[in-house]
Each structure stands twice: as structure tokens, then as C-alpha cells.
Chains A and B, each alone.
Chain A
Amino acid sequence: GESVGLHLPTLSVQEGDNSIINCAYSNSASDYFIWYKQESGKGPQFIIDIRSNMDKRQGQRVTVLLNKTVKHLSLQIAATQPGDSAVYFCADLARLSGGYNKLIFGAGTRLAVHP
């Protein structure tokens, strides 16, 4: 079945270092991916998305890379800050009938930033 999974449940980094969070997906037909950040006690917050016709997209301090050959995407955070500490979810789009789409969330990676 379709699944979106993450390689590492917890990632610890030093403040100022770059962080890389990885995600694998199984549905080769997936064409749209989103990264969400969820801080403790809050709802998930949209970070960045990417369509399958791209292999890289950059935002402010974040870059998402998509490798369709191996069905893998990653979120890179430059100069990681304490405020980046959170759980990060990747999600892909399941296309349903009637024009509905549904987001399938991966299990999440906890990013811990140490001073």
C-alpha cells in the first residue's frame, strides 16, 4: 500500500549547523509533496512544497530535494537555530475520485537543536 516514511526518528544538531531530514515514499505516481513543521503543543505548519516536475525548491533557509528515481525527498535547513526544534513531517498527495486529494503523512522526525 501507499506509505510515506522517514529514515530517522530523531535528529540532533548543533546550533548553526545544517540539518538534513530524509523521507521515503512508496507511490511512484505521487506528484506533490509537502513538508510540515510541528512545534510542541501546536498544529503542523506548512514549510515548503515541491511538485514532481522539479527536483529542487528553495525557500528561506530551507531547501527540498526530490529524487524520483529512488523515491526520496529531503528537507535541508541551513544554519539551524533553536527555533527550528520541532517534529518535521513529510506528506504526499493521494489522488482520490471526484477530484478529492488527501495528504498522507509520514511518521515524523524530531529535530533537536543544541546550543
Chain B
Amino acid sequence: DAMVIQNPRYQVTQFGKPVTLSCSQTLNHNVMYWYQQKSSQAPKLLFHYYDKDFNNEADTPDNFQSRRPNTSFCFLDIRSPGLGDAAMYLCATSRDKGLTGSPPGANVLTFGAGSRLTVL
């Protein structure tokens, strides 16, 4: 089945030790997103790629970087994880950047299962 796959599902790192989370999609969607979700909170958008066009949210710390080497893959790099970066990281895709279209619901975000990051 077409889907969004995140690896690893669980990642434990030490304070300051770089981490890379990966996301792959078989939906052939143009847009890929990275969200951070802390415990009992809503997902917060970090950045997204429309094809190779990178869009950073204004309040995303410089500590977070992303790479999209091809349509199918997108990576989240956390250069120096702090205790406050412990969270679930969600990858999502959408067919295009508008997020609306026909039929209704056809272009909403499709999420992966997430990568839970623990920082010791």
C-alpha cells in the first residue's frame, strides 16, 4: 500500500549528539512536511518542501535542518539535540501545496507513524 514511512520509530540520543530522522513516501506527492509534536500538544510545523523548494517556519530553530534528495525521501537533521527537543517527529505529505481540491479530502496531509526522540 502507498504510505509514508518513518525511520527509526524510536531514537534515543545523548544531549548534543546529532540525530537524523528519515521519511520516505510512495504516494509520489510533491510536498513533504516535518512536524514536531510534544506530549499532549498539537503538531507544530517545522518546515516543508514543495518539490525542491524549501520553506522554513519563522520560529523553527537553526538547530533543525532538512534535506530532500529526491521526491521520495526527506530527512530531518537535529544538529545538537537538547532536552527540549524530545518529542514525536511527524513526517507528512500532500499532493500539492494548496491542500484543497477535488474531491474534498483528496489533498489533505497524509502522516507517517512518527519517530519518537528521547534525549538523555
**A contact residues vs B (CB 8 Å cutoff):** 32, 34, 41-46, 48-51, 89, 93, 98-103, 105-108
Contacts and interface: CB of A to CB of B under 8 A. Distances in A.
A11 B111 CA distance: 24
Given A99-B98, A101-B99, A44 B40 contact: no
Contact of A43 (B44, B50, B90, B108): B90
- Dominant secondary structure of chain B at its interface with chain A: loop
Given A99-B97, A99-B98, A46 B110 contact: yes
A93 B4 CA distance: 22
Nearest to B90: A43
B113 to A, nearest CB: 5
B43 interface: yes
A44 B100 contact: no
Contact of B99 (A44, A45, A50, A93): A93
Contacts of B19: none
A101 B55 CA distance: 12
B42 A106 contact: yes
A92 B111 CA distance: 16
A41 B113 CA distance: 7
B54 to A, nearest CB: 12
Contacts of B116: 41
Nearest to B99: A101
A101 B96 CA distance: 10
Contacts of A107: 41-42
B119 interface: no
A17 to B, nearest CB: 24
